[in-house]
């Protein structure tokens, strides 16, 4: 027997309808690409999103068509998402930090029909447009006064384009499993692959994200997603914020410490989210200028491992709670968030910080397990490392156009490519990407653990660890360090600091100092490039062993 409740499809444009009805006056504030702070609200965002939908419809964009966005977080970008999804088309966010070849590969692979882009990306797309035959029109996210001269095909200023229609338009209605958004994996090995989110997965993920142990958002909050919409579905904040009815602050293209600080304080932000690199810049800015935070209560950190030292600084020096999260493009993207369960002694501050440095527990809607190379489930003892596999309402079951073939195991689990431990309280700790883990004498060493420890040294700005070939141990860790400005730490100082805090055999065999560490387009350390850079490096211990 089926339940006798209504069939109310979980559609993303239903979120902006709700926000406009219940929270219509709530502000959406942007540091515009043109410069000034721009203010609007959910009611007007919806009205303009309806115009986007109507104008796209007139353009001939249909259900299932892909529409690209190459843009920073702004109110116009937000409107395009709802306009696109409102006719059943698919927003396809493109990360502008990708190599131009990757951008043209994914725009062609997705067969994007139209592109919305910021003025800043016009020169880039002018160079690429001849390679992109499917894009029929470029809509520049600006007004006539700021419209650049451009050779882009059928280019038009967004404000002029939507002014051609009114907002008298009805959203399309369709099955909640309809495709809604698309984001390509960063593709550090091989071509990027397209992940296709459904309306249902976005809505359920956003509801999950609002829970107190996750984003913890209410109508009282002001959230600033510093994480760009183009990074892993923008962590769904474009949906979860209007769903909760909280104020939304969009930082545009200025993501440096000073600009972020100015918005955090000036707009009385209570919750914010981004990758650790952003917070490193903010903390440096606040430390150098002796600044405090007066309204921020919670910061969500994910995308790469958040060092314990960063969590400690936010919590002890600034009174801000850190929620350390793990996720990936293939998951909408949240897979776990660290919240302190009552099983721990809340008064044991140091222990709590150790736990917060883990990526936390899977929220409802995510199932996870760790397995060995024979696919046997490993115990949750916080010690055994295994390949992390996940399953849930917001986990990919295939890539766009079937790239990569079958991606689920026979039990429906997706192999994340991460290696992790899970402790008896269900807290996950990512120890590495499976291809980055250092295999020394048949045992595994976590490069992430070593990096996190090294950045705790007061003279270290950033650290990366890679495995270097070793005649006796197969691989041994090399620590690569960028010192803090004006500091020149020695190898001995750093190794001395790490000594005693990790197992002896995990100690890096050498330390090298550099001025730059390469990063991927989403701010992760680019280990492939580092391995290439140090492929001829000989460890002092390797010489001794020969
Ligand atoms: P992306 O799809 O670009 O967001 O990358 C996803 C990958 O980033 C994951 O598979 C992890 O390897 C890594 N990652 C994300 N969040 C974390 C975290 N909190 N700690 C460690 N690694 C992370």
pLDDT of res. 176? 98
Nearest CA to ligand 1 atom 15: 303
The predicted model gives 145-172 an average pLDDT of 98
pLDDT of res. 302? 95
The predicted model gives 33-41 an average pLDDT of 98
pLDDT of res. 434? 83
pTM for the full predicted model: 0.92
Query: pLDDT-derived band of residue 524, with 50, 70 and 90 as boundaries?
Result: confident
Distance 432 CA to ligand 1 centre (A): 9
Q: Which domains does the chain have, with CATH numbers?
A: 436-545 (3.30.300.30)
333 pocket-lining for ligand 1 (C-beta < 6 Å): yes
186 pocket-lining for ligand 1 (C-beta < 6 Å): yes
Q: Residue 333 CA: which ligand 1 atom is closest?
A: 4
Q: Residue 524 CA: which ligand 1 atom is closest?
A: 8
Nearest CA to ligand 1 atom 9: 328
Query: pLDDT-derived band of residue 373, with 50, 70 and 90 as boundaries?
Result: confident
| Radius of gyration for the chain, computed over Cα atoms and rounded to the nearest angstrom | 24
pLDDT in tens, 102-143: 999 999 999 999 999 999 999 999 999 999 999 999 999 999
80 pocket-lining for ligand 1 (C-beta < 6 Å): no
For 372-427, where are the E strands, in sequence order? 386-392, 414-422
pLDDT of res. 546? 63
What are the helix and strand counts (H, E) for the chain? Answer: 17, 24
The tokens describing 177, both together, are 């499993």
pLDDT in tens, 219-270: 999 999 999 999 999 999 999 999 999 999 999 999 999 999 999 999 999 9
d(C-alpha 283, C-alpha 291), whole Å: 9
The predicted model gives 367-396 an average pLDDT of 96
Secondary structure (H, E, C), 196-229: EEEHHHHHHHHHHHCCCCCCCCCCCCEEEECCCC
419 pocket-lining for ligand 1 (C-beta < 6 Å): no
Nearest CA to ligand 1 atom 8: 303
Query: 332 — alpha (psi -120 to 50), left (phi > 0) or beta?
Result: left
418 pocket-lining for ligand 1 (C-beta < 6 Å): yes
Distance 304 CA to ligand 1 centre (A): 5
d(C-alpha 113, C-alpha 178), whole Å: 18
**Residues ≥6 apart with Cβ < 8 Å to 187:** 102, 193
- Closest CA relative to residue 390, chosen from 437, 323, 331: 331
pLDDT of res. 187? 63
């Amino acid at each position: 027997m089926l339940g006798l409740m209504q069939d109310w499809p979980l559609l993303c444009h239903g979120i902006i309808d709700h926000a406009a009805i219940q929270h219509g006056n709530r502000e959406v504030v942007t540091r515009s690409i043109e410069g000034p702070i721009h203010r609007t609200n959910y009611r007007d965002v919806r009205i303009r999103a309806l115009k986007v939908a109507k104008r796209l419809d007139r353009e001939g964009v249909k259900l299932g068509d892909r529409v690209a966005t190459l843009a920073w977080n702004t109110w116009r970008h937000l409107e395009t998402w709802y306009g696109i999804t409102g006719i059943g088309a698919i927003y396809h966010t493109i990360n502008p930090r990708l190599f131009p070849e990757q951008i043209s590969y994914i725009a062609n692979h997705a067969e994007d029909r139209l592109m919305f882009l910021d003025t800043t990306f016009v020169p880039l797309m002018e160079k690429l447009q001849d390679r992109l035959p499917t894009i029929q029109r470029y809509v520049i996210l600006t007004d006539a006064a700021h419209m650049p001269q451009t050779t882009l095909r059928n280019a038009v200023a967004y404000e002029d384009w939507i002014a051609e229609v009114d907002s008298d338009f009805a959203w399309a209605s369709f099955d909640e499993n309809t495709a809604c958004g698309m984001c390509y994996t960063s593709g550090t090995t091989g071509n990027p692959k397209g992940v296709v989110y459904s309306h249902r997965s976005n809505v359920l993920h956003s509801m999950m994200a609002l829970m107190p142990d996750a984003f913890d958002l209410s109508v009282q909050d002001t959230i600033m997603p510093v994480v760009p919409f183009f990074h892993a579905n923008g962590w769904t904040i474009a949906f979860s914020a209007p769903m909760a009815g909280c104020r939304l602050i969009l930082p545009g293209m200025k993501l440096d410490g000073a600009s972020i600080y100015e918005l955090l304080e000036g707009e009385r932000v209570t919750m914010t989210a981004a990758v650790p690199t952003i917070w490193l810049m903010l903390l440096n800015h606040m430390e150098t200028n002796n600044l405090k935070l007066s309204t921020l209560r919670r910061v969500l950190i994910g995308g790469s491992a958040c060092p314990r030292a960063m969590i400690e600084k936010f919590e002890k020096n600034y009174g801000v709670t850190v929620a350390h999260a793990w996720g990936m493009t293939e998951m909408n993207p949240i897979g776990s968030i660290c919240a302190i369960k009552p099983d721990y002694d809340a008064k044991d501050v140091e222990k709590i910080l150790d736990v917060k440095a883990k990526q936390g527990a899977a929220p409802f809607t995510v199932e996870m397990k760790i397995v060995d190379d024979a696919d046997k489930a490993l115990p949750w003892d916080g010690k055994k490392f295994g390949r992390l596999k996940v399953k849930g309402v917001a986990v990919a079951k295939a890539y766009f156009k079937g790239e990569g073939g079958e991606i689920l195991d026979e039990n429906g689990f997706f192999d994340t490519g991460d290696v992790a431990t899970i402790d008896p309280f269900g807290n996950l700790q990512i120890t590495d990407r499976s291809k980055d883990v250092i295999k020394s004498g048949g045992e595994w060493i976590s490069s992430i653990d070593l990096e996190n420890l090294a950045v705790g040294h007061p003279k270290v700005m950033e650290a990366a660890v890679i495995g270097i070939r070793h005649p006796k141990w197969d691989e041994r860790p090399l620590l690569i360090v960028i010192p803090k400005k004006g500091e020149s730490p020695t190898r001995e100082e750093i190794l001395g600091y790490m000594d005693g805090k990790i197992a002896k055999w995990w100690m890096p065999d050498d330390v090298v100092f550099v001025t730059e560490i390469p990063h991927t387009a989403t701010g992760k350390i680019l280990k492939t490039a580092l391995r290439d850079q140090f492929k001829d490096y000989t460890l002092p211990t390797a010489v001794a062993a020969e």
